[in-house]
Structure 1
Amino acid sequence: MTLLSLSQLTASYGATQALFGVDFEIAEGEALAMMGRNGMGKTTTVRCICRMMPAKGALVFDGHDLSRLPSHRAARLGIGLVPEGRRCFRDLSVTENLSAAARPGAWDAAKVEALFPRLGERRGQLAGSLSGGEQQMLAIGRALMTNPRLLILDEATEGLAPTVRAEIWAAIATLKASGMSMLVIDKSLKELRGACDRVVILERGRSVWDGTMSALSPDVVEAMLGL
């Protein structure tokens, strides 16, 4: 069953067009990697899905036309976002950050702390006093507390120490094994190969390649990603 579908998605920042035709689908229980060089439209696509900016084209989540919905209603349908840059509530504690986002479902504070034990050790600590890696764990935990049907992770490991990156990738693998549908934006091809089923590549605001991770050849990686 298709959970999210984008077709000929276009979007602009004022007079400057950023997306010229983004197309992809995510099935229930599937993890899709979205890749591309910097400035190719990945975060803009995420903003459109989460209804943080207007877009044209077909944008459908679980049969609902997202283009007609404000961001809070899109979230209530089950879209959970881990934004680029973490954006925790710095003046709230770890527990307060988690409870602020809580919605009924399988994910609760205890389950988040089992996924990220560091958060359990810092329940009463203000988010602003956490390390960068711990803040990223909190941002993921906060998104999970909304009990999403689709989890979007926008550069969730960028700028983190290798040991923390490994912890977060291990958590992503755990989520994948549990059947969580995910859209993962990252540059780490090795880790994405282990965590995702398929990949879509954006170039200049367009989808230019879509396929399984096993079909992603070195020639495609070099030509379209420069890796």
Structure 2
Amino acid sequence: MSLLTLHDISAFYGPSQALFDVDLSLDEGEVLALMGRNGMGKSTTIKVICRLLRHRGGTVTFDGQDIGPLPSYRAARLGLGLVPEGRRCFANLSVRENLIAAARPGDWDLAAVTALFPRLGERLGQGAATLSGGEQQMLAIGRALMTNPRLLILDEATEGLAPVVRHEIWAALARLKAEAGLSLIVVDKSLRELGQVADRAVILEKGRTVWEGAFQGLDAGVRDRYLGV
């Protein structure tokens, strides 16, 4: 049974339709790359999964349960963790306070998160607003992990970061897959780095699912047609 299934999802912003019969599935322990050019529906799909946007057609199933009627906080309690685009750390709180703000019991605690991101352990008492962009992204990932999710969704988690920080974050995602067996949905533009962690890919174009398959099946023709500038 799939951990997550989206079937025939339609979604709107007011009168404007953003998603048209989107299909997507994810198995336990799998890493899915959600791909497409800018404005093609990736972030909208994530909002639907996390119940931040109501869909009008189709079904969203998580661990066998239809989560369509649920508010976002109840969906999160089922095990959906989100690292949103733009980080959105609590600027007026310390690193420690950010991490424990939404913590839930489980393997991911303060010790586990700071082992994954030692920089955070060195800055627990520091204000989140004083962190570098890369450190804030680590904090956003750590905060999501502290909810002990079954599925972690990362929306452009490495965008605009220095190469050395990007490397640290991709290494952390590889560890989450290999050591923790965590299910991941990753939105990112780097095919090379996605290829190191992703098992499958789903490509959206103009709010529709246009390609789905093993990540290694993303040949030059598919990349040029749906991902090229």
- TM (norm. structure 2) is 0.98
Higher helix share: 1
Deviations 1:18-60 (A, max 9, x none): 0012101000000000000000000000001111111021110
Q: Higher mean Cα deviation, 212-221 or 113-122?
A: 212-221
Q: Secondary structure at the match of 1:119?
A: helix
Deviation at 1:100, TM superposition (A): 0.5
Query: 1:216, CA displacement in angstroms?
Result: 1.1
What is the alpha-carbon distance in structure 2 between the residues aligned to residue 96 and residue 83 of structure 1?
Answer: 18
Offset, 1:70: 0.3
CA deviation after TM superposition for structure 1 residue 93, in Å: 0.3
Instruction: Give percent identity, aligned residues only.
Output: 67
Pairwise CA distance, 1:91: 0.4
- Say whether 1:97 aligns with 2:109: no
CA–CA distance in structure 1, aligned partners of residues 186 and 21 of structure 2 = 19
Report SS of the residue matched to 2:125.
Answer: coil
Aligned to 2:186: 184
* Structure 1 residue 64, shift from structure 2 partner: 1.2
1:213 deviates by: 1.1
Distance 2:60 2:38 in 1: 23
Q: Which residue of the partner structure matches residue 213 of structure 2? A: 211
Instruction: Report the counterpart of residue 7 of structure 1 in structure 2.
Output: 7
Which residue type is aligned with residue 206 of structure 2? Answer: R
Deviation at 1:215, TM superposition (A): 1.1
Describe the SS at the equivalent of 1:67: coil
Matches within 5 A, 1:75-224: 75-177=76-178, 178-224=180-226
Larger displacement relative to structure 2 (47-56 or 134-143)? 47-56
Matched with 1:65 is: 66
- Give the aligned residue type for 1:66: I
> Could you tell me which residue of structure 1 aligns to residue 43 of structure 2?
43
CA distance in 2, matches of 1:9, 1:186: 22
Counterpart of 2:72, as a letter, is S
Query: How many residues end up aligned between the 2 structures?
Result: 227
2:185 & 2:68 partners in 1: Cα distance? 19
1:173 positional shift? 0.4
- Whole-Å Cα distance in 2 between the matches of residues 213 and 53 of structure 1? 28
CA distance in structure 2 between the aligned counterparts of 1:15 and 1:68, rounded to whole angstroms = 21
Q: C-alpha distance in 1, partners of 2:131/2:43? A: 25
TM-score of the aligned structures, taking structure 1 as reference length:
0.99
Give the Cα–Cα distance (whole angstroms) in 1 for the partners of residues 157 and 143 of structure 2. 13
Runs of 4+ in 1 over 2 A off after TM superposition: none
Deviation per CA, 1:69-115: give whole Å up to 9, x if none. 00000000000000000000000000000111110000001100000
Q: Secondary structure at the match of 1:199?
A: strand
